[in-house]
Structure 1
Amino acid sequence: MSDSATEAVLYVCAERGTQTPALAEERALQEGRAFAGERDLRLGEEITDHFGEVDPGKRPGWQRVRGMVARGEVTTVIVRWPNAISTDQELRYAEIAWCQEHGVRVQFSWAPLSELGGQGR
């Protein structure tokens, strides 16, 4: 990675399966790392939350992401897909807009979304 690499945070909030509980989280982490590497984004931190809470503001991991954004520590938040932020569209869009208002891009690492540009609106 070059010296000009951009600092990013990888945020994962994945539903745990019954037979292989950690599989979805591990895949999202691997995918996010690959996404960052392909785009010369330096991952400063990987943050995970348990899936289930609709309001991202109530999740400790997302609160850490918001803190990093507010302090100007990152320029990019990588998530696998929009529902990792929230399954509620209004809450999700509000969080993406808040990040963008702070000069931070939200990018999606899941291949079908990343191939379309991978950015939250």
Structure 2
Amino acid sequence: MDIDNDRSRQTALRPNISGRLAAMRRWIMSEALESRGGKPVTVDLYALGVDPVTTHLRTRTYSLEMGWNIGETFSDPYGTPDPMQRPGWSRLCERLAGGYAQGVVVVGQCDVTTSVDEYESTLQWMQSHCVFVDFVLPHLPVASCA
């Protein structure tokens, strides 16, 4: 009985956590863009999966529609929940930390991670480096990534 109550509580809290993280992502992006003071914004593109060409095309189209310059493209064919364990994502973060790009565009959150804790850590890292992540499909449920 207690196990069922714990599961119900976790299920009920998930939308609140997802909403909080979505708001956090939007706020970080707003702050990073505002800090540019009207200067051009360069974004890198990232794809997780075996077909990065299609994903990069979608993220490139979206980025250009947003008026951003395209930096480099990165991909990993598969990934652990911790994105920093992926070679492509790690190289991307080195560029972001070095100031070569101000953000990264992915199709959806599952390109970053399906782990709520890792996603929050990633957002905190981005905030501390004044960079952002944007999604082509901001409302893509993480469950559809599995």
TM-score > 0.5, shorter chain as reference? yes
1:60 and 2:95 equivalent? Answer: no
RMSD of equivalent CA atoms:
1.6
Which stretches in structure 2 are left out of the alignment for 5+ residues? Answer: 1-38, 140-146
Q: Deviations over 1:43-72 (max 9, x none)?
A: 110100122322111100011111011111
Richer in strand (by share): 1
1:89 and 2:116 equivalent? Answer: yes
C-alpha displacement of 1:26: 2.7
Which stretches in structure 1 are left out of the alignment for 5+ residues? Answer: 17-21, 115-121
Task: Name which one, 1 or 2, has greater alpha-carbon Rg.
Answer: 2
Correspondence for 2:40: 5
| Matched ranges for 1:94-109 at <5 A | 94-109=121-136
Correspondence for 2:68: 41
| Alpha-carbon contact 1:100-1:106 (below 8 Å) kept | no
Q: TM-score, normalised by structure 1?
A: 0.76
C-alpha displacement of 1:39: 0.8
What letter corresponds to residue 9 of structure 1 in structure 2? D
What letter corresponds to residue 100 of structure 1 in structure 2? Q
Calculate percent identity across the aligned residue pairs: 26
Richer in helix (by share): 2
Moved over 3 A (4+): none
SS of equivalent residue, structure 2 residue 91: helix
Q: TM-score, normalised by structure 2?
A: 0.64
1:76 and 2:103 equivalent? Answer: yes
Task: State how many pairs are aligned.
Answer: 101
C-alpha displacement of 1:27: 2.5
